[in-house]
């Protein structure tokens, strides 16, 4: 696992005049972004997880379950629209 990968990577280069040009890269997926937000909410309410002695790996897996549900909800919304 490469822990040094940036979430929102970009490449900066100088043009002929010495001005900085920034090129965006793909970076974090929408699913990862949703999972990060879900994880943040779970950690903010950590008193609940500590009370029930839930492991960090379970919390992380649950964050992706929330992310998957959000991705699915987006697909349903797009089908209806």
Residue 44 in domain: yes
Residue 37 in domain: yes
Residue 54 in domain: yes
Q: Where are the beta strands (DSSP E) in the chain?
A: 10-14, 20-24
Residue 23 in domain: no
Residue 9 in domain: no
pLDDT for 36 equals 94
- Residue 66 domain boundaries: 28-80
Residue 67 in domain: yes
Domain total in the chain: 1
Q: Identify the bridge partners of residue 24 per DSSP, sorted by sequence position.
A: 10
pLDDT for 1 equals 40
Q: Mind listing the pLDDT tens digit of every residue in the chain (81 residues)?
A: 444 556 676 777 788 888 888 776 667 788 888 999 999 998 888 776 666 677 888 888 999 999 999 989 988 766 765
Residue 19 in domain: no
pLDDT for 9 equals 67
Residue 38: name the closest of 67, 71, 7 by CA.
67
Q: Is this structure's pTM higher than 0.85?
A: no
């Amino acid at each position: 696992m490469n822990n040094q990968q940036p979430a929102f990577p970009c490449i900066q280069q100088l043009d002929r005049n010495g001005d900085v040009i920034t090129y965006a890269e793909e970076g974090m997926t929408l699913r990862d972004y949703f999972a990060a937000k879900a994880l943040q909410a779970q950690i903010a309410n950590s008193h609940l997880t500590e009370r029930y002695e839930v492991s960090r790996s379970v919390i992380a897996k649950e964050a992706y379950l929330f992310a998957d549900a959000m991705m699915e909800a987006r697909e349903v919304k797009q089908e209806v629209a």
